[in-house]
Amino acid sequence: MSAATTTFPADARTAVSVSWRRRVMAIALMLGIAGFFWIDSRYPALLRKYHSGAHVKASGAITFDALYPVDKTMPLTQRVWRTSLNWLAANKIGMTFGFVFGAAALTFLSTLRPPRTRFPQLNALIGALAGMPLGVCANCVAPIGRGFYASGMSTESVLAAMISSPTLNVVVLAMTFALFPLPIALLKLATVLFMLFVFAPFVAARYPAPEVSINCPINIPVNETWGHAFIAAVKSYAQNFWYIAKVGIPLMLLAALLGALAIEIVPQQALTSPASLFGIIAVCLIGAFLPVPMAFDVVIAYIAMTHGVPLPYVVAVLCTLGIYSVYSFSVIGKTISWKLATATYAAVAALGLAAATVARFLS
């Protein structure tokens, strides 16, 4: 679906004349959702992983915990099914936040003019700053990205927000620099910054965000009462939530199955052999595909490094896993452009390959 044919909720196309009361309600809703998620769940969980340091563990194939045990002696269909259920269970809180916050963000941003400038790098910076504190993985940020795009935010801002959320979070960055030698941590950071300020502005020029019409006749009275503003805000939120969920939920279920299938067909000893070009490419392609949770890339790469996995494989995992995923791919493809989604996937894999090649000289 191209940007030219994408349709958005009426409130997302225009709301310049919206009353200040409705905007206050939207801000309160966003702060309430984000505050509850950050304080009750996300940051306590991230800090526990950070304080675990070198003792941090992962018991699932693509999750930190496993609700259902998975054994390689099981039939493939059973392993895929159980890994899918484990993924859905592990992501239920983050995904819930992604959908409810994404709708709240769209409700608020639709009351403003499109938050974008004439300068692509500045737009990317705006998106990166919006994504950094979100504290959600490449999967859970996808519904939020869909909401950002529907509000009229620039394509480079949307991509930057989706990339920065799982990679530039302060706790995840601290874990990276604490667990890895400085050159490796800097390699990871360099690939992220390249994606944000080189790739995103470059590719977004080919897929600009749709113009948001400020002339759509919505006729909102400037002096509407608090009661009318509340009812209007609730209706707008419900409409925006449906816009995000009708695409996001089916694709989430599909991503669970595809991610589980991808990891379960990978040979158990895939990373123990000496590093080869073919092997590095395979790791990069799989890493950019798997829908893993927040900080999973740091943990798995560290465990691999401490178990003697060749450094190019370790760096390939660190620089591709967790930045993008099959779920991000499908949401970007459905919302903006399948060509853009494919280009982003290719860029993540290519940067992982470049970083792994550099790592050969560090080992």
Closest by CA to 360, choosing from 314, 306, 307, is 314
Q: Is the pLDDT of residue 13 over 60?
A: no
Return the pLDDT at 50. Answer: 83
Please give the Cα distance from 211 to 200 (Å, whole number): 19
Rg (CA), the chain: 21
CA distances to 153, 162, 206, 343 from 203, rounded to whole Å, are 15, 15, 6, 8
Please give the Cα distance from 221 to 18 (Å, whole number): 7
Return the pLDDT at 296. Answer: 94
pLDDT average, residue stretch 21-49? 90
Span 55-65, pLDDT tens digits: 877 888 889 88
Return the pLDDT at 179. Answer: 94
The DSSP 8-state label assigned to residue 74 in this structure reads: S
The DSSP 8-state label assigned to residue 195 in this structure reads: I
Q: Is the pLDDT of residue 218 over 50?
A: no
Please give the Cα distance from 73 to 137 (Å, whole number): 30
Q: Is the pLDDT of residue 211 over 70?
A: no
Do residues 351 and 191 touch, judged by C-beta distance below 8 A? Answer: yes
Please state, for a pLDDT cut of 70, what percent of the chain lies above it: 90
Q: Is the pLDDT of residue 129 over 80?
A: yes
pLDDT category of residue 137 using cuts at 50, 70 and 90: very high
Domain that holds residue 184: 3-359
Alpha helix locations (H) across the chain?
10-13, 20-37, 43-52, 76-90, 92-109, 120-131, 141-150, 155-167, 170-179, 182-194, 200-204, 226-264, 277-287, 296-306, 311-320, 326-335, 338-359
Return the pLDDT at 37. Answer: 93
Please give the Cα distance from 179 to 358 (Å, whole number): 19
5 burial (CB, 10 Å; 0-12 / 13-18 / 19+) is exposed
Return the pLDDT at 363. Answer: 63
pLDDT average, residue stretch 291-320? 94
The SS3 call for residue 324 is strand
User: 133 vs 112, which has greater pLDDT?
Assistant: 133
The number of distinct structural domains making up the chain is 1
